[in-house]
């Protein structure tokens, strides 16, 4: 495609099957969210019109993927689909050894157990909920080394996923390389709003870690989206394909964990990858304890086949341009309405700044949790809190108080239409116009781990 011809981001596919949705009344939704303890995770999906809870496992698979599922080899050991998956990972990402897992956190569990010792520090470009918890459960402490701009919803830095090299260097000097088993680098940082790391910054992290003999482990859940932003924004990458950029990103890292439920376009699946034989050996041994044999890791043969095909489809320029184009369409529409969103617009969804949206609520009144509930009541659009509830508690029991208090409108891949995007933006506007009347929440039930999934709330009077 010629770059100088501007055309719309229209989808490079057409529909051949549809799923009918239930429409509900406002009264039904008020009842449903109350019964769900004002937690969108506890709603029945049936009561949701447009589901933007997550982009995880919610993609539409292609006809090629569905056809691939029919070729599943469900042997307990040595399934042919495992070898197809292994080949796809080696070809498109370049990692040597792979271990399938049921999803991303399965890979995080095994990797953390293999690499982290009690007392270790794990620097990372912002935390992710499950990733940090596995680091902590393995005895490590997470240290945030992302640039300050990432914590500022108003900063328009083009690479808010970048590492602050000085922060990383200071940490290495303070603790010593021996206590840092790896630096955890996420591409298209989820909690920052789907924001990319630049290739230049990644190369700098590589140079510094190499000097100290420290690994980089890549959370590559949304690597294709990150590669697209590099192609669009970073000098020298305009003419490279997303596929080439993805491969280059991976080449600066030593291993990876992947939730294939996102960029790799499957409903279930993940893997751990490493270039080190010793790490592989130990992980391959542990996977049989927690997931399943090392040639299926908790997946059916057909799931591994769908993943192998999804990986290839995910690095196509046409796919990713339409994917991110749809999100930019929604984000621009919301910005035109004056709704405070994190800028630049991210790769997997729109992140609305709940502090700015509901300035009369304190963080202890859960502004983002409240806003997600109000959007659902307005239109049946289900979004997710990414603020104080998601941040959880420190190992010593104190609450984390994150700077970002966001509601995530996460867009599944290849699922919704432009008219759906219009409905979503209009609903956000409806709630925005009534925002002064909105009251906060109080937490009435708090689970010990990853509380955002199951916590319950009541409306403040
Ligand atoms: N890393 C990142 C950056 C993620 O976004 C997720 C999942 C995981 C790891 C864990 O993978 O769910 O397959 O076990 N994120 C989902 C989300 C849950 O909604 O953002 P998983």
pLDDT tens sequence across 174-207? 999 999 999 999 999 999 999 999 999 999 999 9
Q: What is the mean pLDDT of residues 441-447?
A: 96
* pLDDT over 80 (residue 350): yes
- Asked if residue 8 is part of any domain, the answer here is no
Question: What's the longest Cα–Cα distance across the chain?
Answer: 61
My answer on whether 290 and 368 are in the same domain is no
Cα distance between residue 255 and residue 217, in whole Å: 5
Atom of ligand 1 nearest to the CA of 105: 14
- Asked if 215 and 183 count as a contact pair (C-beta separation under 8 A), the reply is yes
My answer on whether 375 and 423 are in the same domain is yes
CATH number at residue 34: 3.90.1150.10
pLDDT tens-digit map of 205-225: 999 999 999 999 999 999 999
Closest CA to 195 of 362, 324, 292: 324
* pLDDT over 90 (residue 7): no
Atom of ligand 1 nearest to the CA of 259: 13
- The residue to which tokens 């009842």 are assigned: 31
CATH number at residue 207: 3.40.640.10
Cα distance between residue 190 and residue 369, in whole Å: 17
Q: Which residues line ligand 1 (CB under 6 A)?
A: 54, 56, 103-105, 128, 130-131, 186, 190, 219, 221, 259, 261, 270
- The residue from 314, 340, 364 where one domain ends is 314
Q: Specify whether 442 is catalytic.
A: no
**Model pLDDT, residue 323:** 97
For residue 1, name the pLDDT band (cuts at 50, 70, 90): low
Q: What is the mean pLDDT of residues 20-29?
A: 96
Pairing mode, if any, of strands 381-382 and 384-386?
A: unpaired
- Asked if residue 7 is part of any domain, the answer here is no
Closest CA to 256 of 242, 283, 275, 232: 275
My answer on whether 234 and 257 are in the same domain is yes
- Asked if 160 and 150 count as a contact pair (C-beta separation under 8 A), the reply is yes
- Asked if residue 261 is part of any domain, the answer here is yes
* pLDDT over 90 (residue 5): no
- Asked if 81 and 72 count as a contact pair (C-beta separation under 8 A), the reply is yes
Output DSSP code: residue 243: H
Cα distance between residue 390 and residue 314, in whole Å: 28
- Asked if residue 19 is part of any domain, the answer here is no
Q: Which residues contact 336 (CB under 8 A, 6 or more apart)?
A: none
Alpha helices in 266-400 (DSSP H): 277-290, 301-314, 317-336, 354-357, 367-379, 388-391
Q: What is the mean pLDDT of residues 323-337?
A: 97
- Asked if 398 and 355 count as a contact pair (C-beta separation under 8 A), the reply is no
My answer on whether 424 and 309 are in the same domain is no
- The residue from 314, 348, 365 where one domain ends is 314
Closest CA to 3 of 246, 314, 231: 231
Q: What is the mean pLDDT of residues 272-298?
A: 97
**Model pLDDT, residue 137:** 96
For ligand 1, atom 19, which residue shows the shortest CA distance? Answer: 54
My answer on whether 310 and 328 are in the same domain is no
My answer on whether 306 and 325 are in the same domain is no
CB count within 10 Å of CB 283 equals: 25
My answer on whether 267 and 401 are in the same domain is no
For residue 395, name the pLDDT band (cuts at 50, 70, 90): confident
Cα distance between residue 242 and residue 247, in whole Å: 9
* pLDDT over 60 (residue 375): yes
pLDDT tens-digit map of 100-128: 999 999 999 999 999 999 999 999 999 99
My answer on whether 214 and 103 are in the same domain is yes
Catalytic residue, from 49, 92, 128, 229: name it: 128
**Model pLDDT, residue 8:** 79
- The residue to which tokens 């939704």 are assigned: 29
CA of 128 to the centre of ligand 1 (A): 8
Q: Specify whether 128 is catalytic.
A: yes
Q: Specify whether 182 is catalytic.
A: no
pLDDT tens-digit map of 238-248: 999 999 999 99
Strands laid side by side in the 384-386 sheet: 349-353, 406-410, 384-386
Q: CA-based angle 257:447:377, to the nearest 5?
A: 90
- The residue from 267, 299, 314 where one domain ends is 314
| Count of structural domains, the chain | 2
Q: What is the mean pLDDT of residues 28-55?
A: 97
Share of the chain above pLDDT 90, in %: 96
- Asked if residue 1 is part of any domain, the answer here is no
My answer on whether 141 and 259 are in the same domain is yes
Atom of ligand 1 nearest to the CA of 106: 14
Provide the residue count of the chain. Answer: 461
My answer on whether 411 and 267 are in the same domain is no
Q: Which domain holds residue 95?
A: 63-314
């Amino acid at each position: 495609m010629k770059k100088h011809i501007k055309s719309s981001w229209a989808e490079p596919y057409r529909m051949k099957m549809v799923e009918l949705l239930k429409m509900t009344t406002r009264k039904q939704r008020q009842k449903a969210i109350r019964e769900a303890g004002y937690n969108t995770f506890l709603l029945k999906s049936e009561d949701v019109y447009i589901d933007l809870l997550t982009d995880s496992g919610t993609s539409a698979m292609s006809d090629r993927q569905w056809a691939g599922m029919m070729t599943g080899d469900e042997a307990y050991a040595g399934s042919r689909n495992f070898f197809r998956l292994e080949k796809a990972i080696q070809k498109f990402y370049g990692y040597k050894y792979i271990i399938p897992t049921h999803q991303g956190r399965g890979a995080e569990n095994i990797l953390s157990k293999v690499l982290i010792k009690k007392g270790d520090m794990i620097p990372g470009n912002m935390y992710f909920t499950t990733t940090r918890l596995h680091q902590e459960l393995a005895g490590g402490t997470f240290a945030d080394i992302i640039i300050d701009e990432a914590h500022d919803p108003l900063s328009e830095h083009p690479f808010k996923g970048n590492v602050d090299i000085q922060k990383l260097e200071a940490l290495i000097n303070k603790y010593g390389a021996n206590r840092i088993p790896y630096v955890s680098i996420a591409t298209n940082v989820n909690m920052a709003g789907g924001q990319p790391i630049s290739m230049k910054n990644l190369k700098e992290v590589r140079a510094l870690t190499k000097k100290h003999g420290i690994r980089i482990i890549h959370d590559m859940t949304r690597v294709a989206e990150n590669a697209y932003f590099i192609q669009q924004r970073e000098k020298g990458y305009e003419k490279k394909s997303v596929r080439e950029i993805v491969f280059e990103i991976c080449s600066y890292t030593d291993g990876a964990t992947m939730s294939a439920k996102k960029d790799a376009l499957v409903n279930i699946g993940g893997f751990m990858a490493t270039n080190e034989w010793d790490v592989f050996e130990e992980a391959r041994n542990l996977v049989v304890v927690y997931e399943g044999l090392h040639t299926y890791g908790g997946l059916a043969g057909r799931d591994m086949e769908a993943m192998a095909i999804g990986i290839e489809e995910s690095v196509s320029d046409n796919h990713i341009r339409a994917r991110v184009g749809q999100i930019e369409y929604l984000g621009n529409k919301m910005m035109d309405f004056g709704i405070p969103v994190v800028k630049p617009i991210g790769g997997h969804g729109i992140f609305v700044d709940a502090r700015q949206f509901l300035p009369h609520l304190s963080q202890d009144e859960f502004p983002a949790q409240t806003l997600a509930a109000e959007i659902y009541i307005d239109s049946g659009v289900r979004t997710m809190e990414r603020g104080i509830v998601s941040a959880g508690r420190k190992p010593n029991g104190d609450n984390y108080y994150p700077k970002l208090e966001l509601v995530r409108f996460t867009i599944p891949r290849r699922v919704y239409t432009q008219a759906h995007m219009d409905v979503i933006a209009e609903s956000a506007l409806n709630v925005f116009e009534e925002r002064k009347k909105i009251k906060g929440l109080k937490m009435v039930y708090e689970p010990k781990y990853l509380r955002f999934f199951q916590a319950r709330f009541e409306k403040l009077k």
